[in-house]
Amino acid sequence: MKKLLYILIGIAVIGLIAFILMNNKAENEEKTAIVAEKNATVSVKIDTVKTQEVSLDFVSNGNFEPIQELKFSAEKSGKVIQVLAKEGDYVKVGQVLAIVRSDVVNVEASNAKASYQNAVTDYNRYENAFKTGGVTKQQLDQARLAMVNAKTQLTQANINVGDTRIKAPISGFINKKYIEPGSILAGMPATELFDIVNVSKLKLKVTVNESQVASLKVGDITKIKASVYPDKEFSGKITFIASKADESLNFPVEIEIANNTANDLKAGMYGTAEFASKQQKSSLKIVPRNAFVGSVSSNQIFIVENGTAKLKKVTAGRILGDKVEILDGLNDGQQVIVTGQINLQEGSKVEIIK
């Protein structure tokens, strides 16, 4: 009897253990399903499509460049005996910057001058003699040729003398000096002498997109600001608009700015061009630029419908800073996904992060 009781108790214990295990398995499977469903949901942020008044003014950033910049080298070889300009000096075109030893070229110039004077004297004597029949026409022609050759040699000698005085080819500031007294100038390769930059005017190079470039023309006046002078405003004039877009499908634009008397603007500074639209404001349907999958040119945007992501084909218009005009494909009030698109595909479940 006791043996039978033990058997029944054992069966009951085994049944209870089996029941508990089965119940735990069901609970685990339920929890796993909940976790899997949650993991399948992609967290996203959204924005709402809306029509609003938007300013069509726009800005573009770039760097200031000098209107002229020149690194020039020695044309003749020789030894520098004097340097008359230092870095930071303002020099005018034609100003002597350095002097090269000229003993030999001065002697050559003196000899060339004496030879030319002798040739002129000989020609005059031959010309007078020809009038009286003392010399032939051929002898007179030879004397004239000798005089012309002597004048050519004198001209070259004077040029060589001038080359010993190195002059500024443009006006501007000495940005870099490469020579000192005692420097030996070489002809091949030519020795670098000075860098000169002219910042009386500067160029601000920026890029604009295709919708913006359509409203610009050469000669337009723009407002210019430099990041280091937030309280100052400069005036610029568009001098160049590219006829072809660059690799990023933007159009390079150059703006010329007259520097102030203190030359506050320096080449290399960061500047902003403010372009005013002739149409100040317009009612446009807009979405954030980062709503587009990939880039604006893809014309694809995810929207949220009933908790799932749906890919929509849209027609984009003008790019207005961090906003983009929508011409077709979306309606006011629709929710567009602005972050998390990389993890989405058509029909993905989404969880909206506020």
Residue 57 scores a pLDDT above 90: no
Higher pLDDT pick, 235 / 52:
235
Q: What is the mean pLDDT of residues 180-202?
A: 88
Q: What domains lie within the chain, and their CATH numbers? A: 43-55+281-352 (2.40.420.20), 59-66+198-275 (2.40.30.170), 102-163 (1.10.287.470)
Q: Where are the alpha helices (DSSP H) in 48-133?
A: 103-131
Task: Measure the CA angle with vertex 320, ends 230 and 255; round to 5°.
Answer: 50
238 forms beta bridges with 255
> Can you state the angle between helices 103-131 and 137-163, rounded to 10 degrees?
160
Comparison of pLDDT for 114 and 259, the residue scoring more: 259
- Residue 109 confidence (pLDDT) above 90: no
Q: What percent of the chain has pLDDT over 70?
A: 83
pLDDT range class, residue 222, cuts 50, 70, 90: very high
Question: CB 265: neighbour CB atoms within 10 A?
Answer: 24
Here the tokens at position 137 are 């026409």
According to DSSP, residue 214 is labeled: T
Using a pLDDT cut of 90, give the percent of the chain over it. Answer: 33
3-state secondary structure 74-87: CCCCEEEEEECCCC
- pLDDT, tens digit (0-9, with 9 covering 90-100), for 43-54: 889 889 988 877
Residue 264 pLDDT greater than 90, yes or no: no
Task: Output the pLDDT for position 236.
Answer: 94
Of 269, 270, 256, 271, residue with least CA distance to 200? 256
Among residues 275, 88, 86, 85, the alpha carbon closest in space to that of 199 is found at 88
Tens of pLDDT, residue by residue over 267-296, are 999 999 998 876 656 678 889 988 898 877
Q: Assess whether pLDDT exceeds 50 at residue 259.
A: yes
